[in-house]
């Protein structure tokens, strides 16, 4: 249920955040909007794996969905770590 809610609400929230970020000229809010959009992609992958498992009995689609998320999460984590270390500022 949470994944369904995320898939519906996160794109809307990301769009609103991008609009506000442009108006405020806020790079931080624009980056947060990208992360919010990424949350929707992850929810879509999760739901696809769960639905294929439930509808067709393909047990392997759920772990496959998790495995497909790993590179996306690792990439985002590395970019976040590089951003913090490059700026030297872990806050605000």
Residue 67 has pLDDT above 50, yes or no: yes
- Residue 57 contacts by C-beta under 8 Å, 6 or more apart in sequence? none
Residue for token pair 């898939």: 7
Residue 73 has pLDDT above 50, yes or no: yes
Instruction: Tell me the H-state helices in 25-60.
Output: 27-56
Rg (CA), the chain: 16
Q: pLDDT for 34-48, tens place per residue?
A: 999 999 999 999 999
User: Percent of the chain scored above 70 by pLDDT?
Assistant: 90
- Provide the residue count of the chain: 92
- 60 vs 81: CA distance, rounded Å: 32
Q: pLDDT for 9-29, tens place per residue?
A: 999 999 999 999 999 999 999
Output the pLDDT for position 84.
57
């Amino acid at each position: 249920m949470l994944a369904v809610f995320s898939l519906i609400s996160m794109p809307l929230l990301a769009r609103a955040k991008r609009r506000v970020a442009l108006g405020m000229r806020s790079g931080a809010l624009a980056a947060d909007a990208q992360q919010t959009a990424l949350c929707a992609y992850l929810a879509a992958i999760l739901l696809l794996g769960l639905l294929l498992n439930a509808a067709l009995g393909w047990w392997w689609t759920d772990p496959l969905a998790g495995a497909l998320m790993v590179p996306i999460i690792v990439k985002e984590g590395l970019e976040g770590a590089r951003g913090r270390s490059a700026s030297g500022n872990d806050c605000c």
